Structure 1
């Protein structure tokens, strides 16, 4: 087993993040969103299929109860997100876990023959991620390494009465 425990996040890739936020709020009760417009990943911090890539996305994070939801709107460049919009359109993109040992989980995935399709990192905020090919399940699996500061930020966003998987 590469990773177990609770899913931390479900993510949808969308064409218009504002429209998607409105739909999740009005139809599914996601009351609050933390939005981060124009997040840039340069070739020094991101790769797609082992090749450095440069892209920009907009991100919105919300919670449905204790489940973190992420919306990603590709803005510029080639990424795993823009590829999805081009191939199949908007929809569920990935489920994410925060393993206790990120490096060991990636090593185990590689040993099992699972392709790491994309990677990225934010050195200044202490976050690293890798997308695994979902194989027969279709959607990607994201593994995340989060600094204590990032975990605290996510803990601040989760509604009262709920906890994130690392607590």
Structure 2
């Protein structure tokens, strides 16, 4: 199998929510995104809709915000059977899929034999305004519940055909200071029962060939490890892989008393956290009181020598279902010391 799904950019990370009106300002403030386009998807815009192989009539609200470095899509199901409603009914709100592929219908048609050979079906699909087709690939079994969306434009002005019903323009200064300086989406962290399986299938599906690996254990490769504010011993292993902008961290816990094991027990495999923040110790210390004031405390942390600290912020109520990772370099040369090969450093940061 030589053909792989083309990755042309990390267009957005999609999050299923119960009520976008309650949380869109949270995403705006947290990620520093002022403009959000609200589109009500129904029979006026959507045709030839399918879900799990059957024709379906469903409605949902799509809210998209972007800045120069990242995109977020919020989806609120309204009625009818859909992958979005199925998620709410089973595990609740949280990250649902990523979109990193815009390709022509011919390119997607050429991929279908490879997808069929790997057992990847189309979980949900539809045509929008006769201008663009969307395919939600059912990669859950292969990729630890990651789902990939492929968008196939059918005309050059397809974006112009998909005009929003409403534009929300937030005054970010009025929302309050941004909690942390976020930049790009460095990666999405995925909890896996067996990270090797997801790694191999990402290689086959999207050509994610080069990986860095960590075998992490308290007292051996990291220190000062905490879980909900208490000192703890835990161990987990991960792979981090990147192709272009798209990057996944695949994590398999080896012990309990860590956020990954907690997620696995509560929700099963899936997309657990975002890593959008790389900041100084002073910036993080200054941000903590405001984060805690809004119900976002540190729930896990640790240090790697004198190179870096890392923390997980409990943003699951503020950004429904999502935990946020923050990395704090302690030395200017932290990245080159950890990864002497610049190709490996690039995997972690994209730079």
Unaligned ranges ≥5, structure 2: 168-244, 246-351
CA contact under 8 A between 2:8 and 2:102: conserved in structure 1?
Answer: no
Q: Offset at 1:44?
A: 5.3
1:1-167 aligned at under 5 Å gives the runs: 1-37=4-40, 39-41=41-43, 45-96=48-99, 97-100=101-104, 101-122=107-128, 124-134=129-139, 135-146=142-153, 147-151=155-159
CA contact under 8 A between 1:63 and 1:69: conserved in structure 2?
Answer: yes
Q: Offset at 1:27?
A: 1.8
Q: Offset at 1:107?
A: 4.0
Query: Number of residues paired by the alignment?
Result: 154
The CA distance in 2 between the partners of 1:120 and 1:111, in whole Å, is: 23
RMSD of Structure 2 on Structure 1 (CA): 2.5
CA contact under 8 A between 1:102 and 1:144: conserved in structure 2?
Answer: no
Q: Offset at 1:118?
A: 1.2
Unaligned ranges ≥5, structure 1: 158-164
**Which residue of 2 is the match for residue 161 of structure 1?**
none
CA contact under 8 A between 1:125 and 1:149: conserved in structure 2?
Answer: no
More displaced, 91-100 or 52-61? 91-100
Q: Offset at 1:8?
A: 1.9
The CA distance in 1 between the partners of 2:21 and 2:147, in whole Å, is: 24
CA contact under 8 A between 2:50 and 2:126: conserved in structure 1?
Answer: yes
Q: Offset at 1:89?
A: 0.6
Structure 1 residues 112 and 153: CA distance shift in structure 2, 3 A: same
The CA distance in 2 between the partners of 1:4 and 1:107, in whole Å, is: 18
Q: Which digits, 9 at most, give the CA deviation of each residue in 1:60-90, with x for residues without a partner? A: 1110433222111001111111001111111
**Which of the two has higher C-alpha Rg?**
2
The CA distance in 2 between the partners of 1:106 and 1:23, in whole Å, is: 39
TM (normalized to structure 1)?
Answer: 0.80
Q: Offset at 1:40?
A: 1.0
The CA distance in 2 between the partners of 1:139 and 1:11, in whole Å, is: 11
The CA distance in 1 between the partners of 2:156 and 2:102, in whole Å, is: 12
CA contact under 8 A between 1:17 and 1:72: conserved in structure 2?
Answer: yes
